[in-house]
Amino acid sequence: QVQLVESGGGLVQAGGSLRLSCAASGRTFTLRAMGWFRQAPGKEREFIAYISWSPPNTYYADSVKGRFTISRDNAENTVYLQMNILKPDDTAVYYCAAANDHGAYYRGRYYSQATYDYWGQGTQVTVSS
């Protein structure tokens, strides 16, 4: 069992930066990847970024590539999303997710919501013009 808690959201002007944190606790040694998703008002939840360690990789949605960076701390129990050059279209609730290993097919699908086993409660990011 894994628990995820997001933090770091808030209100920022366009062009500014925020860093989101996702603290994982519990059975974290079984995890293979963690990712970030977001859901804007009236929109479907969308993939933002993931970081995996079995196999090791990072991957970003085109909408945030070059602006957002996902990383892990040395203890491997916290994942961060550094968000730079924020735009009003980035306004959304941001969710952290974590995935156990489900076989070779799913190791190539960490961009898919269905691959993940655990979800945080979400943190609001609002970007003003």
* pLDDT tens digit sequence for 77-93: 899 999 999 999 999 99
Closest alpha carbon to 83 in 42, 44, 49: 49
> Tens digit of pLDDT for each residue in 106-115?
888 999 999 9
H helices of the chain, in order, are 104-107
Q: What is the rounded distance in angstroms from the CA atom of residue 35 to the CA atom of residue 89? A: 20
